[in-house]
């Protein structure tokens, strides 16, 4: 029931304006950390899916998602000039 309520609440919350495209191939860690909350969450969700196995079930492990977001935030804070994809490859790549 909580999930349904959250989904309905999110559906009616206006989203702030942000770029039509987010180019992760050029984004640095500093730019990622400076992005607004909506853009950051979209990026984190995309990265979560990108680093899953091809045959992985379509499930978001929220505990793992939050832990990985924390790892990425810490890494990016310590390495602001590194490209975001380079950082995520290092942290979550094979």
Where do the domains of the chain lie? 19-92
Q: What is the pLDDT of residue 4?
A: 59
For the stretch 1-21, pLDDT in tens is 555 555 555 555 555 555 588
Taking phi first (over 0 means left), then psi (-120 to 50 degrees means alpha), and beta for anything else, what does residue 42 get?
A: alpha
Asked if CATH classification 1.10.890.10 holds for the domain at 19-92, the reply, yes or no, is: yes
**Cα separation, 75 vs 78, whole angstroms:** 5
pTM of the model: 0.75
Residues above pLDDT 90, as percent of the chain = 71
Q: Tell me which residue has tokens 């029931």.
A: 1
């Amino acid at each position: 029931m909580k999930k349904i309520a959250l989904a309905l609440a999110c559906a009616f919350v206006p989203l702030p304006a942000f770029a039509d495209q987010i180019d992760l191939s050029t984004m640095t860690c500093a730019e990622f950390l400076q992005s607004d909350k909506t853009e950051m969450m979209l990026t984190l969700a995309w990265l979560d899916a990108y680093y899953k196995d091809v045959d992985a079930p379509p499930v978001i492990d929220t505990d793992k998602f939050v832990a990985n977001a924390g790892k990425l935030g810490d890494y990016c804070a310590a390495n602001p000039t590194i490209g975001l994809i380079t950082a995520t490859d290092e942290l979550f790549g094979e």
